[in-house]
């Protein structure tokens, strides 16, 4: 908001503020999602890691809601801005459309970052990622402002870049961890199968070593 006000003035700041309010209206759902699942994921992570990992992946089904919220910002929000707030806020419409992807990114980040990284051994990486995303937002904003004449567009793209960074990093951690767990499980099954084959061969070996019966 400060960057928009500094580079774009009061009118641009007002347009951006209204668009940001539409995005902020979607955030309670993601807070509720995290608050509901976080205690259970934390418990499973310590007592049954595979069940917790499965719950994290199941939480991604909530992306259907995140997608619906993003589509609402993309399609519905622009239709109601002028009737409700007046023609003077028409400049908020393209900003809302640019920010429409943010709810979907927030949704997936709630699952991959807040639920997974915070509970599966990446506690130190989690705050570093959040700090890095803030740094990316500032740098991307300054870069976009130096290239684009429209301050609201520049800052909106920087917001998307920040959430996209969190998505790429946290999703990479989740996928890598899941693949590692699958390989460990496959290796354990293979070792168990080898043990069964050895155990099954023991009686035959014992029979082969027995001396033949006396005539």
Per residue in 101-147, pLDDT (tens digit) is 999 999 999 999 999 998 998 988 888 998 999 999 999 999 998 88
In a domain, 205, yes or no: yes
Q: Is the pLDDT of residue 214 over 80?
A: no
Buried b (16+ CB within 10 A) or exposed e, 47-58: eeeeebbebbee
**Residue 180 to residue 186: CA distance in whole angstroms:** 10
In a domain, 101, yes or no: yes
In a domain, 116, yes or no: yes
> pLDDT tens-digit profile of 62-71?
999 999 999 9
- The SS3 call for residue 213 is coil
In a domain, 137, yes or no: yes
Angle at 14 between CA 11 and CA 20, to 5 degrees: 145
pLDDT band at 8 (very low <50, low <70, confident <90, very high): confident
pLDDT band at 1 (very low <50, low <70, confident <90, very high): low
Domain limits at 77?
Answer: 2-209
Q: Is the pLDDT of residue 199 over 70?
A: no
pLDDT at 55: 95
In a domain, 103, yes or no: yes
In a domain, 201, yes or no: yes
Structure tokens at 112: 């991959």
pTM, full prediction: 0.83
In a domain, 73, yes or no: yes
Total number of domains in the chain:
1
Nearest to 71 by CA among 83, 82, 63, 60: 63
In a domain, 214, yes or no: no
pLDDT band at 192 (very low <50, low <70, confident <90, very high): very low
| Cα-Cα end-to-end distance for the chain | 101
């Amino acid at each position: 908001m400060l960057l928009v006000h500094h580079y774009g003035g009061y009118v641009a700041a007002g347009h951006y503020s209204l668009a940001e309010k539409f995005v902020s209206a979607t955030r309670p759902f993601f807070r509720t999602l995290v608050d509901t699942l976080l205690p259970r994921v934390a418990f499973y992570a310590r007592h049954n890691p595979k069940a917790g990992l499965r719950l994290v992946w199941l939480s991604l089904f909530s992306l259907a809601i995140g997608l619906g919220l993003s589509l609402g910002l993309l399609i519905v929000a622009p239709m109601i801005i002028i009737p409700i707030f007046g023609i003077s806020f028409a400049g908020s419409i393209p900003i809302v459309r640019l920010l429409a992807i943010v709810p979907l990114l927030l949704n997936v980040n709630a699952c991959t970052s807040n639920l997974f990284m915070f509970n599966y051994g990446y506690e130190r990486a989690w705050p570093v990622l959040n700090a890095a995303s803030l740094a990316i937002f500032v740098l991307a904003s300054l870069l976009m402002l130096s290239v684009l004449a429209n301050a609201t567009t520049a800052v909106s793209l920087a917001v998307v870049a920040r959430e996209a960074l969190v998505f790429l990093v946290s999703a990479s951690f989740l996928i890598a961890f899941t693949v590692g767990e699958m390989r460990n499980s496959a290796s354990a099954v293979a070792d168990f199968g080898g043990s069964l084959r050895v155990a099954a061969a023991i009686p035959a070996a014992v029979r082969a070593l027995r001396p033949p019966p006396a005539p």
